[in-house]
Amino acid sequence: MVLKVYNTLTKKKEEFKTIEPGTVRMYVCGPTVYDWSHIGHGRTYVAFDVIVRFLEYLGYRVKYIRNITDVGHLSGEALEGEDKLLKGAKKEKRTPWEVADKYMMAFFKDMDMLGIRRPDYQPKASQMIPEMIEMIETLIKKGYAYVTETGVYFDVSKFEDYGKLSKIKKDELSKHRIEPDPTKRNPADFALWKKAPENYPFRWKTPWMFGFPGWHIECSVMSMKFLGEQVDIHGGAKDLVFPHHENEIAQSEAYTSKKPFVRYWLHTGLLTINGEKMSKSKGNFITIREMFAKWKDPEIFRMFVISSHYRSDIDYSDKAMQDAKEKLDRIYNTLDRIDEVIENGDESISNEFVQKLKKLKKEFIEAMEDDFNTPLALAKYMEIISETNKHLEKVKSKKDAEKAKEVIIELGKIFGFFQKPRKKNIEEEKMKEIIQILLEIREDLRKKKLFELSDKIRDELKKVGIEIYDTPKGPKWKFV
């Protein structure tokens, strides 16, 4: 089977072929850093992290860029709207640049906490102002953009394919979100550059006016700066299809004289909270840090994310997270059983079991090759867990256990599991320490031939579900 991906542009699955053999050029829209990152961000970036990991598993070199928006993103995109960073600065009594730096660093920490690998480059919009000005100048010279007293705008009427990503027809654009400005030729024209008042903190000199970039121009500039004029994969949440990604296509392809900007557009579904849209006004806004404070283990959230297809909407709830935790516990409990068999098992081997593992691994990879179908791949993965448990219950084969562990670790790493030792429950760790102390006391009693007391420790522990068994390497224990 070959890798196929669903392309938002064509609305169908297509065989994946890269511009440069063996290399994937991938750009994913990053956050606007004016507040704490929320679990909706976490969902999108975990999904793309898994995609990157699987592409690398297939042997691709992935050149991955994810931007940081620290300028140019207005609330609601209206000319009179308030910049999100300025709003955050007022709220926190800081400068906008201090706010941007604070939440950019917080975002990096949140991504690290979720085990999301950092892209090759994470450029800031404010670092790319000269390149943005150069692109806008070219668009003006080519007749795609024009200057008014309020800014520089892209003329969508000059780009005949406008709407090809969102499938919105030009005569229907007035029904959708647009920027009101009487100086524009068409209501749907979008800002490449905006004029700023003298006291505005985000303000750069250009051939046209002092001002700041529109939101959309930054992604075209940054993707071309680091990946070239054409990209294999461009990703983001599906609420970016229009207007952001639609506008990116228009300005990018106008700039490059109609070179296809992106081969495959990939969009993640949205995240809701108990069936409702996440909103601070509703009191259901959950940051990544709040989620982590409650659930402790980032792999639980990763399990929650991969349980749904990346293109599907996903609903966050305590039940969904508890289900994810239970699946994760099954995996780690199975690995504990495997380690026990590797240490104490025999030298037998079951070719039937090894072939079953091989078959399920193949089906896992085929699921991932079908547009990164993580729910189906996860089902195959949990089947490997189930088959391993059933087999090792009957056959204590070291070689079978080693093979099972190899497959479980190999495939689990595609999901981003096993990056760090799992943090165990503190009470559980304390209990294990107490059991170990009792085992040591029991051994001392046995050496002193006080068997009645040593047997009492063994028998009392068994009453509460802890079985002690003696081996040539010393006493061991397990839950029963």
Please state which of the ranges 128-132, 172-176, 237-241, 280-284 shows the lowest mean pLDDT.
172-176
> Residue 71 in 3-state DSSP?
coil
Q: Has residue 223 been placed in a domain?
A: yes
| Residues 337, 342, 343, 348, CA torsion sign | positive
- Using alpha carbons only, give the angle 202, 205, 209 rounded to the nearest 5 degrees: 95
122-141 average pLDDT score: 97
Please report which confidence band the pLDDT of residue 177 belongs to, taking 50, 70 and 90 as the band edges: low
Cα–Cα nearest to 306, from 122, 115, 120: 115
pLDDT > 90: what percent of the chain?
Answer: 70
Q: Has residue 140 been placed in a domain?
A: yes
Q: Can you give the pLDDT at residue 72? A: 67
Q: Has residue 29 been placed in a domain?
A: yes
Q: Which of 236, 252, 268 is the last residue of a domain?
A: 268
Q: Has residue 280 been placed in a domain?
A: no
Please report which confidence band the pLDDT of residue 127 belongs to, taking 50, 70 and 90 as the band edges: very high
Whether 161 and 38 share a structural domain: yes
Does the pLDDT of residue 309 top 90, yes or no?
A: yes
Please report which confidence band the pLDDT of residue 7 belongs to, taking 50, 70 and 90 as the band edges: very high
Q: What is the mean pLDDT of the chain?
A: 91
- Using alpha carbons only, give the angle 271, 76, 97 rounded to the nearest 5 degrees: 90
Whether 38 and 80 share a structural domain: yes
Q: Has residue 217 been placed in a domain?
A: yes
74-79 average pLDDT score: 43
Answer yes or no: are the C-beta atoms of 285 and 278 closer than 8 Å: yes
18-25 average pLDDT score: 98
> Residue 448 in 3-state DSSP?
coil
Please report which confidence band the pLDDT of residue 280 belongs to, taking 50, 70 and 90 as the band edges: confident
Answer yes or no: are the C-beta atoms of 182 and 267 closer than 8 Å: no
Does the pLDDT of residue 159 top 80, yes or no?
A: yes
- Amino acid (one-letter) located at 390: K
Whether 327 and 245 share a structural domain: no
Q: Has residue 202 been placed in a domain?
A: yes
Q: Which of 386, 412, 438 is the last residue of a domain?
A: 412
Q: Can you give the pLDDT at residue 476? A: 83
Whether 400 and 441 share a structural domain: no
Q: Can you give the pLDDT at residue 433? A: 81
The 3 state secondary structure assigned to 161-219 is: CCCCCCCCCHHHHHHCCCCCCCCCCCCCCEEEEEECCCCCCCCECCCCCCEEECCCHHH
154-162 average pLDDT score: 95
Please state which of the ranges 34-43, 51-60, 433-442 shows the lowest mean pLDDT.
433-442
Q: Can you give the pLDDT at residue 191? A: 93
Please report which confidence band the pLDDT of residue 137 belongs to, taking 50, 70 and 90 as the band edges: very high
Please state which of the ranges 339-343, 390-394, 453-457 shows the lowest mean pLDDT.
453-457
Q: Can you give the pLDDT at residue 424? A: 56
Q: Can you give the pLDDT at residue 428? A: 65
Answer yes or no: are the C-beta atoms of 212 and 194 closer than 8 Å: yes
Q: Has residue 466 been placed in a domain?
A: yes
Please state which of the ranges 19-28, 77-86, 187-196, 404-413 shows the lowest mean pLDDT.
77-86
Q: Has residue 455 been placed in a domain?
A: yes
Q: For residue 99, give the H/E element and its range.
A: helix 96-113
Does the pLDDT of residue 80 top 50, yes or no?
A: no
Range of the domain at 382: 316-412
Q: Which one-letter DSSP state was computed for residue 143?
A: T
Whether 159 and 249 share a structural domain: yes
423-441 average pLDDT score: 75
Distance CA 16, CA 4 (A): 5
Q: Which of 384, 412, 440 is the last residue of a domain?
A: 412
Does the pLDDT of residue 176 top 70, yes or no?
A: no
Q: CATH code at 328? A: 1.20.120.640
Q: How many structural domains is the chain composed of?
A: 3
pTM of the model as a whole: 0.87
Q: Can you give the pLDDT at residue 78? A: 40
C-alpha pair distances (Å), 312 with each of 14, 338, 432: 18, 35, 41
C-alpha pair distances (Å), 79 with each of 147, 162, 183, 187, 246: 15, 22, 11, 12, 19
Answer yes or no: are the C-beta atoms of 286 and 316 closer than 8 Å: yes
Mind listing the pLDDT tens digit for each residue in 178-201? 667 889 998 889 999 999 888 888
256-265 average pLDDT score: 96
Whether 435 and 404 share a structural domain: no
Whether 349 and 454 share a structural domain: no
Distance CA 268, CA 245 (A): 13
Q: Can you give the pLDDT at residue 293? A: 93
What does residue 146 show for φ and ψ, rounded to 5 degrees?
A: -145, 160
Cis peptide leading into 260, omega within 30 of 0?
Answer: no
Whether 257 and 327 share a structural domain: no
Does the pLDDT of residue 323 top 80, yes or no?
A: yes
